[in-house]
Amino acid sequence: MNITNNSVPQRSPQIVSRVVDDETVIVDPPKGIVTIINNTGSRIWELIDNKRTAGEIASVIKTEYDVSEECAWTDLREFLADMIQKDLILLS
């Protein structure tokens, strides 16, 4: 999987999510799988709106968490790769 600056992550349509105590609980009803993501992951999940590119999301993370561009990209790529592996998001 090649996640580029122009990739647009999209939440899988069958996914349901809710924020509980600063963590996001993601449920995949057809598979019966629950995934819980931390604060930073929750912010990335919130930014996945089928419009923003991975580059735009990384820029927000860099600014909001006051990290280097490299750190923001590394964290974002790892998060997206994990979510893609779990079939929770798609890339376009």
Return the SS3 of 30: coil
Model confidence at 89, pLDDT cuts 50, 70, 90, reads: very high
| pLDDT 10s digits, 21-73 | 889 999 999 999 999 999 899 999 999 999 999 999 999 999 999 999 999 99
Distance of CA 63 to CAs 55, 71, 79, 83, Å?
12, 11, 18, 23
